[in-house]
Chains A and B, each alone.
Chain A
Amino acid sequence: ETGVTQSPTHLIKTRGQQVTLRCSSQSGHNTVSWYQQALGQGPQFIFQYYREEENGRGNFPPRFSGLQFPNYSSELNVNALELDDSALYLCASSSPGPLYNEQFFGPGTRLTVL
């Protein structure tokens, strides 16, 4: 069973640029959630995708957008990058059922905005 993978591992961008982060969900999982974890903070929910539709969104501006593909992999896109967007971005996959709340996290993508 393949776990959750994310790419790239690290990324450096400059203010105003756009970035795309990618996530492959665990086999059999059809729900993907994205989180932003700033230094010294806990993960903050950005949004969730279920069967290719957005299924909930946290308190993030519209320049944070996402996609989920038919194979349930997902992308997080951030436009007009700001310095405060520097953080670890975590992707988590899960599947409805008795263990629905057991989200499986990937290792994250470390984004640095200069």
Chain B
Amino acid sequence: DQQVKQNSPSLSVQEGRISILNCDYTNSMFDYFLWYKKYPAEGPTFLISISSIKDKNEDGRFTVFLNKSAKHLSLHIVPSQPGDSAVYFCAASYALAQFYFGTGTSLTVIP
């Protein structure tokens, strides 16, 4: 049972524009959400996180939005840069226990 879903396997965006990656979850008990970036032949790298008590968290060009009623979170990257091209995973956890990952979205930023 996939509790965290990323329905877009891929996304292409022009350099300088906004990239929006989406993630949906089914378990209302999740209280912490994270985004990871993964380059080929490397492990995922932590990007940004958000607690369920917040609805927005910003870190430089990266902003994560959480809509608890819709069980939806999104990652905004603005402006997008070619170096942002990677696979992005969202993940969720409950009470700091195991992490559930989505299937990933491959982002390509076109120069």
* A residues lining the B interface (CB < 8 Å): 4, 33, 35, 40-45, 48, 56-58, 90, 92, 100-108
A101→B41 contact, CB < 8 A: no
* B residues lining the A interface (CB < 8 Å): 4, 6, 32, 34, 36, 41-46, 49, 89, 91, 93, 96-104
Cβ-defined partner of A101 (8 Å) among B89, B96, B103, B104: B96
Q: How far is the CB of B45 from chain A (nearest CB, A)?
A: 7
Chain A residues near B104 (CB-CB < 8 A): 42
From DSSP, what is the main secondary structure of chain A's interface residues? loop
Question: Known contacts A101-B34, A102-B49: does B99 contact A108 (CB below 8 Å)?
Answer: no
Q: How far is the CB of B32 from chain A (nearest CB, A)?
A: 6
Quick one: closest B residue to A43, CB to CB?
Answer: B101
Q: How far is the CB of B19 from chain A (nearest CB, A)?
A: 19
Quick one: closest B residue to A58, CB to CB?
Answer: B98
Quick one: closest B residue to A90, CB to CB?
Answer: B43
Q: How far is the CB of B95 from chain A (nearest CB, A)?
A: 10
Question: Known contacts A92-B43, A105-B45, A108-B43: does B98 contact A48 (CB below 8 Å)?
Answer: yes
B44→A56 contact, CB < 8 A: no
A106→B49 contact, CB < 8 A: no
Complex CA distance for A101 and B96, rounded to whole angstroms: 7
A33→B43 contact, CB < 8 A: no
Question: Known contacts A101-B93, A101-B96: does B44 contact A43 (CB below 8 Å)?
Answer: yes
Q: How far is the CB of B8 from chain A (nearest CB, A)?
A: 13
Complex CA distance for A45 and B96, rounded to whole angstroms: 13
Complex CA distance for A94 and B24, rounded to whole angstroms: 25
Cβ-defined partner of B99 (8 Å) among A4, A40, A41, A103: A103
